[in-house]
Chains A and B, each alone.
Chain A
Amino acid sequence: MAAPFTAFDRRRALLVHSGLAAGALLILAATAALQISQRDFYRLQADQNRIAAELVPARRGSIYDRHGHLLARDRTCLNACLLPTQVSTATLPALLAELERLTGVPRARLAERAQRAARRFGPFAPQPLLTDIDPGQLARLAALGSELPGIAITAAYRREYPQGESAAHVLGYLNEINRREYAQLGERGYRLGDLIGRSGVEESAEPLLRGSAGLNWLEVDARQHPVRVLTEPAPQPAAAGADIYLTLDWRLQRAAEAAFPAGRNGGVVAFDPRDGAVRVLVSRPAYDPNVFIAGDAERITAYQGGAGHAMLNRAIAGQYPAGSTFKIIDALAALADPRFSPGTRFACGGALALGSTVFHCWNRGGHGSLAMVDAIRQSCNVYFYQLGIKLGPDPIAAMARQLGLGAPTGISLAGEAAGLVPDRAWKARQRGLDPEWKSGDSANFAIGQGALQVTPLQMAMAFSAVANGGDILRPQLVERAVTPDGTVTHTLTPDRLRHIPFSDTALATVRAGLQQAIIAGTGRQAATFASGESLEHLPAGKTGTAQVGDLNGNGRIDDSEQSHAWFVAYWPVVDPQLVIAVFVEHGGYGGAVAAPVARQVFAVLDRPGADGG
């Protein structure tokens, strides 16, 4: 018979159970430490495990012309996205092969897109493989949906420019922010892969257009699969961006684009001289902003690196000699000097000899003796050579600067050029040039040649002061911004930069010269068919033919060395509503090439019932 539980056994059992009790107490203490004192810490960690933010994209605002004609918008599109959390590396090749079969996009391309998206959005985010899929693709993908696990069709916004190349330089384009920019833009709510306006209004009105993305809080499981949408924390709805109504007038823009000589480079800009509202802005060659959205690398490279410099907005950033359009600035400068009057006459014999150099008039036969109005009408070079030499460069340069030349106008587009207005001091500063300002310099300067460089917008601005009696207004592009709830957050207010106190005589003389140039001078091509005799339908303007010289030095003027054609005008003569500058690079004679473009624009304004206000 075995002995029952002995005292020895009791001691040993006590020892064992004491050890067990101590262990249990340790466990209890450790659990309590985690669950009581560190509860909040661990609950936060648990939430960080399970809560993932899903971005709800914001619709970017649309862009319209002043009458509501659509120029740019975000439309909804469907993307086929790879859900990396539902696809293993083993099943991915088969999935991509199936997608290739369904859509015809090579699997290598799809894999590359997936990798790019993974680098950009992180390893768990949906990776767009096919953007903007068409209904046919959608049907094929949906029909096989159950056999394509890991592919989700998601809705997104896609920027669209229904007018293609039209007004491209006004609208600008979008592309993705890069990592370097993300470092700065990140704190303003941008994420890698977001689109941002790169030029034009898309860039300058970016803060208005962008809106703000919303957030949905998702509960995800350990494999990052979304399980449900959480209501706590509360989701942040996306706020669409504001719609922008431009000052641009689509009819005028189309007319200018259609009339611009095909295949030529150049720019057209027109604005209302009463408030600075830009109605037309054309630059050629143009680009199609849709190409940047589609990511067509070949065409983007052609735009950005091509010989035509399509990205350059020639209307505001192209710098050229002003040619004869500059002559009104000579006249305005002269009439501010008591030595000159409208009756000041100079004789033209077809040329003027200064030292050993002979400066020609375009009319080799000569204009005879001319007063100022006729000199402007005939665009007589010899008259203005003499006026310029007598006046000296500095008053002319001062007047040019007053009128907006030599500095950016302040239009809200990036990349505007300043141009160059030379004077005595400028020449003295130049290395490699004779520091002394010669009468030949004055002669060249007076006809808008030499070192002078202007942009089409600056010339339009100079003419607008003549049209409106001396006001220099900052050209503006945005008429109003309207938020999605209908609130108008921005309306155009004229921004008068300065006023030039022209004498009535000066204004009357120059206006008469510009008017005569249209009726009976160099600008006849700009007269509208319907203009008749009435001043209410008649433009006033000045042609220019800026010589570029023998650029390649082969001793003759090639086609690529043809003169630049200018025409700057306002319309109508009475109460001008529009000032326009047309510039055609190497276009030939301004009267023949540039003036007809303006005429087509005026014709639209002149049409009965057209809204000119």
Chain B
Amino acid sequence: MAESDRVLFAATLILVGIGLLCLAGSAHTNEAYFSYCSRQLLWGLAGLALMLAVSRLDYAVWQRLVWPLYGGTLAALLATTLFGATIRGSTSWISLGWFNVQTSEFAKVALALALAHAVCRRADTEWSGDYDRVVIRRLGAVLALGLPPLLLIILQSDLGTALTLLPMLLLALLFGGLPLGLLALGLGTGLLTVILIVIQLLARWSPAGHNHAVFITRLLTERELALPLFALLAVAALAAGYVGSAFTAAPGGGARRPQLLRSLLLLLVLIVLAAQLSGICISRLKPYQQQRLISFIDPHAQPLQGGYNVLQAKIAIGAGGLWGRGFGNGTQHRLGFLPEAHTDFIFAIWAEEWGLAGVVLLLAAYGLLARCTWRIAAQSRDRWCAAFTLIYSGGLYLQALFNLGMNLGLLPIMGVPLPLVSYGGSSLVSTLFGLGIILAIWRHRLAFRGGIS
């Protein structure tokens, strides 16, 4: 069996190569893409060098540097929020001479390091004491560490990056011992919130907006809308039911009897919470974000505004067929029908030019990566290593799924790049840096340790 670090490195190279191929396809006809491609190549080489260098370094360095790194990140995010450059509506960039750094991308690595710390501390005592108290304290630590950078990034109007931090928080909670019932409750509340936001937005923007009865009838009778709605409501209800039973269960066993009254009460709480949250969100959402959500439900409602990107991306992907239209030959991309193709919609380029075959290769590369990170986590020396590996890499994979779902119109557009593939120096270098730490964890798993507090 191949060594995990080699496979991980190979999968990383494949993904970076895919990104470069997408950019190179139109580099000779499009000046902008020539520049993107050459910059990405430079950043890729620099990032890979950094990755290899970091992999040689004992990961204990990062364990020691966690708090300075985390504090420095918060300071950098704050500086960016206050003084950063605004590009495409987000104040996420801070200028460093001849290039701009997106601090929030590096914040992901620092946050994952800190979260791993929060989750693995007192690991040797975790099962001996009061389960609930340990878990609650740990979850509190996760939230206390996660929320400040999250809030700063939201203040930068960079919803996409904020959304990529959330999965890491979620993973940290999971590995920190979050009861699955609470997870279900949280997911249920989140889904219901999104549903309520969408419904309210549709009601506000649709011609029948003033007549809610008519609108809701339409919503419930039109099969395309009603089916997912009911499915999601059912998920939320099930989650609440599960929460009802899970809270009564002790970790060591005991009765797992669902309590109907408690379930219903929790469902009610969930609905009220979601309603409140959706109200807050709607008041915070900018008009373009509201448009995106509406376009997600009905891309043809505004084919030249909010729905344009997704419609064109789907055309590009679909036109690719089984084997693709060939390197540099995707008409949708080459002729400029895919806006932001080099960043968030790079998957559409890949799918158009390399077809389903290329998509399988891309998914396989991520699959390989995931297999390696799991093996590295499973064979790691201590729990911090496992937690960091799983939290950081899991965050990347979820981010990738968000991006792909967005490209395919399965998720609303949220400005999430495809890790390792999308154009962007900060994202590429920081991701390679994070993967370098994981490689170091693998390389140094057998090293002797004099003991660490």
Tell which of B322, B335, B383, B386 touches A49, judged by Cβ atoms closer than 8 Å: B335
Asked if A49 and B321 make an inter-chain contact with CB atoms under 8 angstroms apart, the answer reads no
- Interface check A6, CB cutoff 8 A: yes
Distance in angstroms between the alpha carbons of A114 and B380 in the assembled complex: 71
Give the shortest distance, in Å, between A86 (CB) and chain B (any CB). 14
Tell which of A5, A15, A49 touches B378, judged by Cβ atoms closer than 8 Å: A5
Asked if B174 and A4 make an inter-chain contact with CB atoms under 8 angstroms apart, the answer reads no
Asked if B317 and A35 make an inter-chain contact with CB atoms under 8 angstroms apart, the answer reads yes
- Say yes or no: A1-B320 contact (C-beta < 8 A), given A50-B337, A222-B337: no
Asked if A1 and B451 make an inter-chain contact with CB atoms under 8 angstroms apart, the answer reads yes
Asked if B408 and A16 make an inter-chain contact with CB atoms under 8 angstroms apart, the answer reads no
- Interface check A17, CB cutoff 8 A: yes
Tell which of B321, B337, B408 touches A36, judged by Cβ atoms closer than 8 Å: B321
Distance in angstroms between the alpha carbons of A4 and B379 in the assembled complex: 8
Asked if A4 and B382 make an inter-chain contact with CB atoms under 8 angstroms apart, the answer reads yes
Give the shortest distance, in Å, between A25 (CB) and chain B (any CB). 9
Asked if B363 and A28 make an inter-chain contact with CB atoms under 8 angstroms apart, the answer reads yes
Complex: chain A residue closest to B29, CB-CB: A227
Distance in angstroms between the alpha carbons of A4 and B370 in the assembled complex: 19
Asked if A35 and B356 make an inter-chain contact with CB atoms under 8 angstroms apart, the answer reads yes
Asked if A41 and B451 make an inter-chain contact with CB atoms under 8 angstroms apart, the answer reads no
Distance in angstroms between the alpha carbons of A17 and B397 in the assembled complex: 9
Distance in angstroms between the alpha carbons of A2 and B123 in the assembled complex: 6
Tell which of B321, B383, B401 touches A2, judged by Cβ atoms closer than 8 Å: B383
Q: Which residues of A have CB within 8 Å of B336?
A: 221-223
Complex: chain B residue closest to A27, CB-CB: B404
Contact with A along B316-335 (1 / 0, CB 8 A): 11111110000000011001
Distance in angstroms between the alpha carbons of A236 and B89 in the assembled complex: 47
Give the shortest distance, in Å, between B369 (CB) and chain A (any CB). 11
Complex: chain B residue closest to A227, CB-CB: B335
Q: Which residues of A have CB within 8 Å of B320?
A: 35, 39
Give the shortest distance, in Å, between B168 (CB) and chain A (any CB). 12
Q: Which residues of A have CB within 8 Å of B174?
A: 12, 15-16
- Residues of B380-403 contacting chain A, CB below 8 A: 380-384, 386-387, 390, 394, 397-398, 401
- Say yes or no: A5-B410 contact (C-beta < 8 A), given A31-B359, A42-B314: no
- Interface check B315, CB cutoff 8 A: yes
- Say yes or no: A35-B383 contact (C-beta < 8 A), given A1-B452, A27-B405: no
Distance in angstroms between the alpha carbons of A331 and B288 in the assembled complex: 92
- Say yes or no: A36-B322 contact (C-beta < 8 A), given A6-B383, A13-B374, A28-B359: yes
Q: Which residues of B have CB within 8 Å of A16?
A: 171, 174, 390, 394
Tell which of A1, A2, A34, A220 touches B318, judged by Cβ atoms closer than 8 Å: A34
- Interface check A339, CB cutoff 8 A: no
Asked if B318 and A5 make an inter-chain contact with CB atoms under 8 angstroms apart, the answer reads no
Distance in angstroms between the alpha carbons of A30 and B378 in the assembled complex: 32
Asked if B318 and A50 make an inter-chain contact with CB atoms under 8 angstroms apart, the answer reads no
Distance in angstroms between the alpha carbons of A16 and B387 in the assembled complex: 13
Asked if A1 and B363 make an inter-chain contact with CB atoms under 8 angstroms apart, the answer reads no
Give the shortest distance, in Å, between A365 (CB) and chain B (any CB). 91
Give the shortest distance, in Å, between A224 (CB) and chain B (any CB). 10
Asked if B404 and A4 make an inter-chain contact with CB atoms under 8 angstroms apart, the answer reads no
Q: Which residues of B have CB within 8 Å of A13?
A: 374, 377-378, 390
Asked if A221 and B363 make an inter-chain contact with CB atoms under 8 angstroms apart, the answer reads no
- Interface check B228, CB cutoff 8 A: no
- Interface check B186, CB cutoff 8 A: no
- Say yes or no: A4-B410 contact (C-beta < 8 A), given A24-B401, A28-B360: no
Asked if B363 and A222 make an inter-chain contact with CB atoms under 8 angstroms apart, the answer reads no
Interface centre among A31, A32, A39, A50 (most CB of B within 10 A): A31
Complex: chain A residue closest to B323, CB-CB: A35
- Interface check B120, CB cutoff 8 A: yes
Other A-B pairs beyond A24-B367, A35-B321, 11, CB < 8 Å: A2-B383, A5-B380, A9-B175, A9-B383, A9-B387, A23-B398, A23-B401, A34-B314, A46-B315, A47-B331, A223-B336
B: residues with CB less than 8 A from A are: 120, 123-124, 171, 174-175, 177, 180, 312, 314-322, 331-332, 335-337, 351, 355-356, 359-360, 363, 366-367, 370, 374, 377-384, 386-387, 390, 394, 397-398, 401, 404-405, 408, 410, 451-452
29 CB contacts below 8 A, A to B, read: A1-B382, A2-B120, A2-B383, A2-B452, A3-B123, A4-B383, A5-B378, A12-B174, A13-B374, A13-B390, A15-B174, A17-B370, A17-B374, A24-B366, A27-B405, A28-B360, A31-B408, A34-B317, A34-B318, A35-B317, A35-B318, A35-B356, A36-B356, A41-B318, A45-B315, A45-B318, A46-B316, A47-B331, A220-B335
